[in-house]
Amino acid sequence: MARNVKNNEASSSAGGTRSSNIGESVVVDVGKCRSSCGYCKSGGRTSVSHGLWAHSITVDDYQDLLDRGWRRSGCFVYKPEMERTCCPSYTIRLKAGAFVPSKEQARVSRRMLRFLDGTLDVKRPELTEEKNTSKASCSLGSNEASRSMTKASSARNFKENDEEEQYMQFLSDQIDNVVRACALGGEFPSDIQLPKASVKKVTQTKKKLIEGSEDLLYTSNISFQIAATLRRSMPVEKDNELGPLRNSKDQNGCTVDLSPKTVAEKLVCSLNQLGEFCGSSIRACNGHLNFYSGTRQASFGEGSALDNAIGQSPKVGGSKRSCTEKSRECPQPRQKIEIKMKKSSFDPEEYDLYRRYQIKVHKDSPDQVTESSYRRFLVDTPLIFVPPSGDGTVPPCGFGSFHQQYVIDGRLVAVGVVDILPRCLSSKYLFWDPDLAFLSLGKYSALQEIGWVKENQVHCPSLQYYYLGYYIHSCSKMRYKAGYRPAELLCPLRYQWVPFDIASPLLDKKSYVVLSDFGTTQNHEFQHQLPENSVELHPNLDEEDRSDIGSDEDVEMAEPAFYGSENDSVPETNDLTSNDELKDAEVSNVLIGLKASRLRFKDLQRALGPAERRCLELELHRYVRLVGTSLSERMVYSLG
């Protein structure tokens, strides 16, 4: 008794702006759907899914559907039939607060920062010679060009290093000037020889050891040297409980704080009054004078920060120029990135980017990428928007479906389609500028989305998880999802979460596994063993190039677009589910929608004839088995 509905019955604004406590979920059963599998190496295989068409869904109900293995494509909500589909798809998630990036993932963030700063060396394809040029001439010209480029590069590097040395000397001179000014002003003794300042560049290795120091350029420890010199020249307060390393008395008997921290704060205050450090900011940090690049952009969503100015040395002119002229030549970071969270809606600029992405990355024909298919796939949503609240239960952007725009200097470079729910951010799809494939925007966006969950836990403590969609163990392009650790897979039968490290060896042997059957002890040993006659695993795809540049794994943060075109799926009317499998589902309290009425099945069945009642009862048994008793009593099962 499957009932199909047309695509145009759904609306991208389903649910309007109603809050979740007054909205209701209304779904129509579209039966089972077959579609060609996009993950098998050999063609001809099919994927079987159960389908619901959603007029509207509350965010709480959709969260519970996710936790039973469902996903949505536009307003179509589907669940793979794991026992029958060729490539079983397991829901995968991770707890954002426990996430620690791998070295490879950290490199993606650093590459973006170097790109924003203009220091990323992007390899460009070499220009071809004219057709009438001989191979020998091409080779000779290429070698000569290579040597010329090498010489030019060496000269440029030498010039930049020389300019950097000049700038560090300029900073040292400015510190010496304020030290002398402090001595003349009576803050330091004027009758002793104070040490000269030395400014050093902070290496990348040291930056890694200091959290939040990505934009740290230079540092000086002059405050420690000054403090030591002052302590040696002044009488020590013996009975001071803080000891001789912090306080001494000057010639007038006044106590003087000689700690490096206090000295550094005085120097930074004086340096900032000079106002001659274009492109840099100066801060005192535990006695050190630290020089940072000068711009930081707070732009991730609402209320989160993203550092965009990362440490390359400001450049100065020749040595004959004045210090003021040199400081004015320090360039600002070349680019900045903004990440904007906006409610799901059609945006022509986003559609143009999506069209380029699908044609160049996925090799779709231009006729396949239409505005209507884009709307159905990535704009239309059944989720009822929940506006932000001040009671700590909703994040500042609200709950619902969103497009997360990545904009670099006003240019849209990527869009992440996400659902923000009471317990998670669910990543649905990402499309990006094909010209920026070298930035690994798929990985970069995943890291930003994980960071978004962490930051918004302050506003909404229930928001804990990051859902990466479906994981298919037999598909090498999907393996990257398990790299965001600690990952968990959803048991397809009992809907319990199992650590990926436990599930992985099971899936190596068998494509479909009831994961909850394999419990773990404290030392993570299996309580059960796989049977010898395991189902044969489909052959893996060839391993993709794992380099960060242009890796195909960036295109896989996506789910099948079942309704991306008119013929993507074919409803399967033959329901092979046996009565024995269905009879354990309780259907009496299923909420039925009949036009404007809402009735429980136990109240409706009296008005049905025996044959119609039996047919509907079988359909509801299957429905309850798929969505669970609790959801079947909350969501409206529409009959028209």
Angle CA 530–534–536, to nearest 5: 140
Looking at residue 345, its pLDDT comes to 97
Dist CA 424 CA 445 (whole Å): 16
* pLDDT top residue among 630 and 314: 630
pLDDT higher than 60, residue 242 = no
Long-range contacts of the stretch 503-511 (C-beta < 8 A, 24+): 503/90, 504/473, 506/530, 507/473, 507/537, 508/473, 508/537, 509/534, 509/537, 510/534, 510/535, 510/537, 511/87, 511/88, 511/473, 511/474, 511/535, 511/536, 511/537, 511/538
pLDDT higher than 60, residue 362 = yes
pLDDT, tens digit, 9 for 90 and up, residues 9-39: 333 333 333 344 568 999 999 998 877 776 7
Determine what percent of the chain is predicted with pLDDT higher than 90.
Answer: 44
Element holding 534 (H helix, E strand): none
Residue type, 337: I
- Topology of 147-328 in CATH? Gyrase A; domain 2 (3.30.1360)
Nearest to 80 by CA among 109, 117, 39, 119: 39
Looking at residue 174, its pLDDT comes to 86
- Over residues 533-540, mean pLDDT: 32
DSSP 168-236: HHHHHHHHHHHHHHHHHTTSS-SSS-PPPP--EEPPHHHHHHSTT-TTEEEEE-HHHHHHHHHHHHS-B
Looking at residue 33, its pLDDT comes to 83
Hey, what are 418's tokens? 């996400």
pLDDT, tens digit, 9 for 90 and up, residues 543-574: 333 233 233 334 344 444 443 333 344 444 44
Which ranges in the chain are annotated with CATH 3.30.1360.70? 147-328
Looking at residue 601, its pLDDT comes to 94
Could you tell me the CA-to-CA distances from 152 to 125, 128, 301, 621 in Å, in that order? 19, 21, 42, 75
CA torsion sign for 375, 378, 380, 385 is negative
Hey, what are 217's tokens? 């350029």
Looking at residue 75, its pLDDT comes to 96
pLDDT, tens digit, 9 for 90 and up, residues 226-237: 888 887 776 544
Q: Which residues contact 593 (CB under 8 A, 6 or more apart)?
A: 26, 636, 637, 638, 639
pLDDT band at residue 238, thresholds of 50, 70 and 90?
very low
pLDDT band at residue 168, thresholds of 50, 70 and 90?
confident
Looking at residue 112, its pLDDT comes to 94
pTM of the full predicted structure? 0.62
Burial code (b: 16+ CB inside 10 Å, e: under 16) for 163-192 equals bbebbbbbbbebbeebbeebeeeeebeeee
Dist CA 302 CA 297 (whole Å): 12
Q: 81, exposed or middle or buried, with CB in 10 Å at 0-12, 13-18, 19+?
A: buried
HEC-encoded secondary structure of 383-422: ECCECCCCCCCCCCCCEEEEEEEEEECCEEEEEEEEEECC
* pLDDT top residue among 256 and 402: 402
Looking at residue 492, its pLDDT comes to 93
pLDDT, tens digit, 9 for 90 and up, residues 118-136: 888 776 444 333 344 444 4
pLDDT, tens digit, 9 for 90 and up, residues 58-76: 999 999 999 999 999 999 9
- Over residues 96-124, mean pLDDT: 88
Dist CA 279 CA 265 (whole Å): 20
pLDDT band at residue 396, thresholds of 50, 70 and 90?
very high
154-168, 291-305, 487-501 — most confident range: 487-501
pLDDT higher than 60, residue 299 = no
Mean pLDDT of the chain: 76
Neighbours of 212 (CB within 10 A): 8
pLDDT higher than 50, residue 316 = no
Helix, strand, coil abundance in the chain, percent, nearest 5: 35, 20, 45
